[in-house]
Structure 1
Amino acid sequence: YVPPSRHTITRRLKRLHVLHRKKLFDDLKHVDYISITTDFWANRQNQSFLVITGHYFKSDDINLKSTVLNFSKFNERHTSHQISRILKRKLRELNISHKVIVITCDGANNMVRDLDLYAKRLWCVAHRLHLTITNAFGLWITKKVEMQVPQMMK
């Protein structure tokens, strides 16, 4: 067995990307309204990525579709203005910015401020639950606070 060369793999991946993108654009043409979820994550090298997922019904189908609309490296500062600007640009590129009715994201201030001006925003229930449990068990108590607790108990 001789594995394909990196050039062959690169060519095939580019072809798959073009085909997937075309199918996505075709699907989104038949969508009247779309809800999106968005979040950041970082890899082990601390590079930041923004993912935008779309949730929609095609006009000829009653089954909910969920698909990644964009996954890209985010080199900008994580300010609400930068996030909103990039998000709006990505949605315009997909020609769906006028179809977005709800944006679901975590409750971080940088995700909240400008997104409220764009569409109705919902907090992600999983993020809220995580915050509730973490705070309930005191998992985010810092060393400084831990040292102050015995003094407060006196």
Structure 2
Amino acid sequence: MLYNDQSSQKKKLDLAVVDMIALDLQPFTIVTDEGFKKLVSLLDPRYDVPSTYTLSGKLLNQRYTDIRNKLKEDMSGVEYVALTCDGWTSRATESYLTITCHFVSNHQLHAVVLSTKPLTNGINHTSENIAASIQEIIDEWEIDHKITSIVTDNAASMIKACELLKKKHFPCYAHTLNLVVQDNMKLIQPILKKCKDIVTFIKQSTSAMEIFKKEQNSEKPLKLIQECPTRWNSSYYMIERILKTNEAIGRTLLKVRKAPQPLSVDDVCVLTELVKVLDIFEEATKKISGSKYVTISLVIPVTMGLYNNFKPPRSPKNGSRSIYVAST
């Protein structure tokens, strides 16, 4: 006999299914998959999995409301909060705004996403529209009087939006580092293009990929990493992987027709030195991007550490390359 709708066990299982879909980013249609239904039947034959309509139209909405009310209750006792805001465009070219709230409760730092929703006017990306969209969320959560600052990227529209909201603005330090590195990476675009062409060729050629794996002579051959244009550290990961597998890459390209030219000795020398520089920025970016600890106090020490690494040394003995020079 199946559980009835008022059964406490069925409610627990329904809740577990909703949480699984939300936490693991699974589609609602997973409940119609034969493998999933078979697994559930073996675990508890009395449980009838809810339909996709019930999940999306009722259970998920109720779960969201319960969590939202609990979070709002928890935040009511918080005196100060800070916000981080980011605008982004979906693959369907729809404009969204995500707002994350940061606060200290019970001596612990918390970061919770308050909202991810379309801009009030999706066509208008002006600072006024962004400010109005942020204000809607602030009013919804009743935190206007608690906000100490808002962190955004360096976009002029975001900075102006904070001015309109009359909130203190802090530029995202990690984004600033990204802009610095991206700007300087333009100086080596020809070599970067060679790297991207090599990665694209091997990834798109079945025969080249097989040869590349065999040439590494390893039980767990490495895969090449392609650059993402908006993230400098993806270039770092791509170059680092190319340097690790450069010998296998060279032998592969010589064995496949219409392959791009392998990297020259000069290219490898430049990339080797470049990785040493990018490694420092990578360490700085990771350190400043933490969500479980306060990061604003790290901005000055990390900046000074970067400065000390790249300024001309006073003597040949001064060769330290750690970003923690300033704080030790």
Same-fold call, TM cutoff 0.5: yes
**1:119 aligns to what?**
167
Q: Higher helix share goes to which structure?
A: 2
**2:186 aligns to what?**
138
Q: Report the secondary structure of 1:31's partner residue.
A: coil
Counterparts of 1:90 and 1:33, CA distance in 2: 16
- Which stretch shifts more, 76-85 or 2-11? 2-11
The alpha carbon displacement at 1:5 in A equals 1.4
The alpha carbon displacement at 1:4 in A equals 3.1
1:87 counterpart (134, 137, 145): 134
Q: Higher strand share goes to which structure?
A: 1
Counterparts of 1:76 and 1:31, CA distance in 2: 35
Q: How does 1:2-151 map to 2 (within 5 A)?
A: 4-10=50-56, 11-58=58-105, 61-74=106-119, 75-117=122-164, 118-138=166-186
**1:150 aligns to what?**
none
Residue correspondences, number:
138
Counterparts of 1:114 and 1:68, CA distance in 2: 20
The runs of 5 or more residues in structure 1 that have no matched partner are 142-154
Q: What letter is aligned with 2:173? A: V
**2:283 aligns to what?**
none
The alpha carbon displacement at 1:49 in A equals 1.1
The alpha carbon displacement at 1:20 in A equals 1.2
The alpha carbon displacement at 1:35 in A equals 0.3
The alpha carbon displacement at 1:66 in A equals 0.5
**2:192 aligns to what?**
none
Greater CA radius of gyration, 1 or 2?
Answer: 2
TM-score (norm: length of structure 2):
0.40
Q: Report the secondary structure of 2:170's partner residue.
A: strand
Of structures 1 and 2, the one with the larger relative CO (CA 8 A, separation 6+) is 1
Counterparts of 1:98 and 1:54, CA distance in 2: 14
- Which stretch shifts more, 112-121 or 11-20? 112-121
Aligned-residue Cα RMSD (Å) equals: 1.7
Structure 1 runs, 4 residues or longer, greater than 2 Å off: 1-4
The alpha carbon displacement at 1:76 in A equals 4.5
